[in-house]
Amino acid sequence: METLGFLMDGFGVALQPHNLMFALIGAFLGTLIGALPGLGPANGVAILIPLAFTLGLAPETAMIMLTSVYAGAMYGGRISSILLNIPGDEPAMMTCLDGYPMAQQGKASEALAISAVASFIGSLVATIGLILLAPLLAKFALTFGPAEYFALFLLAFATLGGITGKNPMKTVVAAAIGLMIATVGIDSTGVQRFTFGVLELYEGVDFIIAIVGLFAISELLFFIEEKAGGGKEKMKVNKLTLKWKDIRDILPSSFRGGVLGFIAGVLPGAGASLGSFIGYTLEKKVIGKKGYFGKGDPRGVAGPEAGNNGASSGALVPMLTLGVPGSGTTAVLLALLISLNITPGPLMFTQNADIVWGVIAALLIGNFLLLILNIPMVGIFVKLLSVPPMFLLPIVTMIAFVGIYSISNTTFDLYFMVAFGVAGYIFRKLEIPLVPIILGLLLGPEMEKNLRHAMDISDGDWTILWNSGLAIGLWVFAGLGLILPYIVGPMLRSRMKAAPDSGGPESD
Amino acid sequence: MTYNDRIFGILMIVLAVAYGWGTTQFPESFGGTEAVGPETFPRLLAIVLGLSSLYMVVRPDPDNAWPWSRTGIELIIAVVVLVLYSMLLQPLGFIISTTLAVGTLCWRMGSRPVKAYVTGAISGVVVYLVFNFALDLALPLGVLSFLEVG
């Protein structure tokens, strides 16, 4: 029951007026970010990090705001899926299948309302799951030694591509590049590595600059290439005529979707996209012939929507307890934690309990805020959706510039960001995933530290890395994470492909 | 033909070798040689990158087309605009450089020029005002610094 006490303390933090205000701002911005095509959640959170910094927000406030952004982005992704048949982010892909037909039948606002309720239930179920599971996992993680941590980091990289990933070798290439960039600078024993005598490199490469460059700038370049500047025609939104019965009908689907999504989110290598995919297929199986899936069945909107929101809360479990994120956006949240000088991992639950529990409580509160925001204010978001990308993306780019510039007031950082942007464009062209690069940048120092620790303990004996049962288990799973995509991947992908092609930005 | 992955793979192998060689150039640390020194982890990385890149060379994925011709030029223009924006942010000041950069990008992405630069100017002024007064963060005024109050 001590969990309940911690949660109450968390509410104490999250309900402070200024934290509540930033949660509201975050939820609003997040929905916006999720709704706008060309601005995925990882991207959006990344751009907001430097701003949270320069505002000098307290750590818990910054975390609460950006977690709200994250939750909001998952809500927002559905808006463009339903109205434009373009997923705002990748996990919202499955929502298109029944959401867009509903909109075509003149039931757009019902689809939006149903998906908002389903998102709410999905998040709620998963947040409760998070509250129950996270402290247990954190306690368990306290038994990890440096060798186990080293293996755990490997596992994180190996499963990052997900079992639907295309070419796991490219994940390895990406991870190696990220880790290499992380070694630049002065190491823990004071030796300069790869600094080439450049003063700006002594402290290493700031991962915030890398993240914003890789995501935001490369997105701009991609839009220019696709000539998608004009935007798409938008669907009319009718007046809402939702009855209580309609909501009751989707409740079972939402609960099932939420639970499945949570599990998919916690497991390494699954992520929100898989969560919404499983949510949808399960609904199809359970309802069977009685449904009219693909032709605007509300349950086909509720299932995946609850699944994707459940998964996004579930994905916070490994990030908060182990310090190992399972998705792009949680990696960006981890970046925020590290730059706030908080060491993520099991110790955070004891050392920074106010932050962890404040964030969890903020998730619960944010959910209610989002539900309230999303039903009456959907009209505003729909209006903003019609801002064509040719105006939107340059402005987003400018905000990225302002954010990075305001960290250190130097032009050097801006050049660096542009360089990362161009590199990000090339990587994406070659289908080299960006998230392992970022994870490499983030985890590199910790990974090396744990390797050195393990070696110091064993006096240079490499076998310590696979000397305990736990470590062996992690190695096995890491291996599976690299091999399974070759076997399961093609199968799952072809089934997900049966759904419309997604042109959404990468990352979940 | 599949060139992209092969060329990139070869470049990465070159990087891995150069990076690996770089680890032999680290200055000697004070405590003498340890089991795991500053060079151990990077050497592991060099090996991993080398092997995985080799795999890309041997088993490349099908190519994505590169945008040559007009779109390619548009991309280069965009990158040049971003570099110039970085360069001119301090000397010209935030508002003017933003007007030029955002305006040019909007214009090149398909907006009409007048509308594009008006968007640039408005966004520049709004963000400047928000940052300077609401958030209390100074952005450079540059050539407009005569407008500065107090």
A191-219 pLDDT, tens digit per residue, is 788 878 777 788 888 888 998 899 889 88
Q: How many Cβ atoms sit within 10 Å of the Cβ of residue B23?
A: 20
Tokens of A484: 């399974």
pLDDT digits (tens, 9 = 90+) for A469-483: 888 888 888 888 777
Q: A192-193 and A185-186 as β-strands: parallel, antiparallel, unpaired? A: antiparallel
Residue A507 pLDDT > 50: no
The model's confidence at residue A243, banded by pLDDT at 50, 70 and 90, is confident
Residue A415 lies in a domain: yes
Q: Which residues, in sequence order, are bridge partners of residue A186?
A: A192
- The pLDDT value recorded for residue A45 is 85
Torsion of CA A14, A121, A336, B83, to 10 degrees: -130
Residue A74 lies in a domain: yes
Helical H segments across A315-410, by residue range:
316-322, 328-339, 348-351, 353-374, 378-385, 389-408
Residue A13 lies in a domain: yes
Torsion of CA A184, A188, A192, A198, to 10 degrees: 50
Residue A508 lies in a domain: no
**Which residues contact residue B69 at a Cβ distance below 8 angstroms, ignoring those fewer than 6 apart?**
none
Interface test with B, best of A186, A194, A218, A402 (most B CBs within 10 A): A402
Q: Which chain B residue lies closest to A184 (C-alpha atoms)?
A: B42
B38–A221: do the CB atoms touch at under 8 Å?
Answer: no
Give me the mean pLDDT over the A104-115 stretch: 83
Q: How many Cβ atoms sit within 10 Å of the Cβ of residue B109?
A: 24
A459–B35: do the CB atoms touch at under 8 Å?
Answer: yes
Number of domains in chain A: 1
Q: What are phi and psi of A215, to 5 degrees?
A: -85, -60
Residue A506 lies in a domain: no
Burial class (CB in 10 A: 0-12, 13-18, 19+), A206: buried
Ramachandran sector of residue A271 (left: φ over 0; alpha: ψ -120 to 50; beta: rest) = left
Q: What is the average pLDDT value for chain A, to the nearest integer?
A: 82
Give me the mean pLDDT over the A389-410 stretch: 86
Contact A275, A260 (CB under 8 A): yes
The minimal CB distance from B109 to the residues A55, A390, A417 is found for A390
A451–B90: do the CB atoms touch at under 8 Å?
Answer: no
The model's confidence at residue A297, banded by pLDDT at 50, 70 and 90, is confident
Residue A505 lies in a domain: no
**Distances, alpha carbon B142 to alpha carbons B1, B94, B116, B145, in Å:** 51, 7, 22, 6
Q: Which chain B residue lies closest to A226 (C-alpha atoms)?
A: B71
The span from the CA of A115 to the CA of A105, in Å, is 16
The span from the CA of A249 to the CA of A237, in Å, is 22
The span from the CA of B130 to the CA of A69, in Å, is 20
pLDDT digits (tens, 9 = 90+) for A40-90: 778 888 888 888 877 778 888 888 898 898 888 888 878 877 887 777 666
- For residue A494, the one-letter residue type is S
- The pLDDT value recorded for residue B82 is 94
Q: Which chain B residue lies closest to A168 (C-alpha atoms)?
A: B52
The minimal CB distance from B38 to the residues A167, A193, A417 is found for A193
- The pLDDT value recorded for residue B28 is 64
Torsion of CA A466, A472, A478, A480, to 10 degrees: 130
Residue B44 pLDDT > 60: yes
- The pLDDT value recorded for residue A505 is 39
- The pLDDT value recorded for residue A349 is 83
**Which residues contact residue B90 at a Cβ distance below 8 angstroms, ignoring those fewer than 6 apart?**
A411, B140, B142
* Percentage of chain A exceeding pLDDT 90: 6
Q: How many residues does chain B have?
A: 150
Span of A474-478, B66-70, B100-104, B131-135 with lowest mean pLDDT? B66-70
The model's confidence at residue A422, banded by pLDDT at 50, 70 and 90, is very high
The minimal CB distance from B78 to the residues A167, A224, A227 is found for A224
Q: What is the average pLDDT value for chain B, to the nearest integer?
A: 83
Residue A460 lies in a domain: yes
Q: What does the buried/exposed string (b/e) look like for A425-449 if buried means 16 or more CB atoms within 10 Å of the residue's CB?
A: bebbbbebbbbbbbbbbbbbbbbbb
Between residues A19 and A84, the one the model is more confident about: A19
The model's confidence at residue A30, banded by pLDDT at 50, 70 and 90, is confident
- The pLDDT value recorded for residue A414 is 92
The span from the CA of A232 to the CA of A480, in Å, is 42
- The pLDDT value recorded for residue A229 is 56
- Could you list the residue range(s) of the whole structural domain that residue A98 is in? 2-497
- The pLDDT value recorded for residue B84 is 94
Neighboring chain B residues of A388 at a CB cutoff of 8 Å: 111
The span from the CA of A191 to the CA of A203, in Å, is 12
The 8-class DSSP code of residue A192 comes to E
B36–A456: do the CB atoms touch at under 8 Å?
Answer: yes
pLDDT digits (tens, 9 = 90+) for B63-93: 777 776 778 888 899 999 999 999 998 889 8
* A&B contacts, CB < 8 Å: 165
Tokens of A462: 């490499």
Give me the mean pLDDT over the B50-75 stretch: 82
Neighboring chain B residues of A405 at a CB cutoff of 8 Å: 89, 139
SS3 assignment, position A185: strand
User: CA A488, A491, A497 angle in degrees (round to 5)?
Assistant: 130
Between residues A265 and B65, the one the model is more confident about: A265
Helical H segments across chain B, by residue range:
4-22, 40-58, 69-92, 94-108, 113-129
The model's confidence at residue B101, banded by pLDDT at 50, 70 and 90, is very high
- The pLDDT value recorded for residue A179 is 92
- The pLDDT value recorded for residue A201 is 80
Residue A381 lies in a domain: yes
The minimal CB distance from A418 to the residues B71, B79, B98 is found for B79
Query: C-alpha A473: how far from its chain's center?
Result: 26
Between residues B61 and A118, the one the model is more confident about: A118
Span of A156-160, A273-277, A464-468 with lowest mean pLDDT? A273-277
The span from the CA of A235 to the CA of A219, in Å, is 25
Contact A114, A247 (CB under 8 A): yes
Burial class (CB in 10 A: 0-12, 13-18, 19+), A210: buried
**Which residues contact residue A117 at a Cβ distance below 8 angstroms, ignoring those fewer than 6 apart?**
A247, A250, A254, A302, A371
Q: Which helix or strand (DSSP H or E) is residue A451 part of?
A: helix A435-458
Give me the mean pLDDT over the A231-251 stretch: 70
- The pLDDT value recorded for residue A38 is 64
Query: How near does any CA of chain B get to the CA of A50, in Å?
Result: 12
Neighboring chain A residues of B27 at a CB cutoff of 8 Å: 191-192
**Which residues contact residue A132 at a Cβ distance below 8 angstroms, ignoring those fewer than 6 apart?**
A3
Give me the mean pLDDT over the B128-142 stretch: 79
Q: How many Cβ atoms sit within 10 Å of the Cβ of residue A349?
A: 21
Tell whether the torsion through CA atoms of A48, A52, A58 and A59 is positive or negative. Answer: positive
Residue A504 pLDDT > 50: no
A176–B108: do the CB atoms touch at under 8 Å?
Answer: no
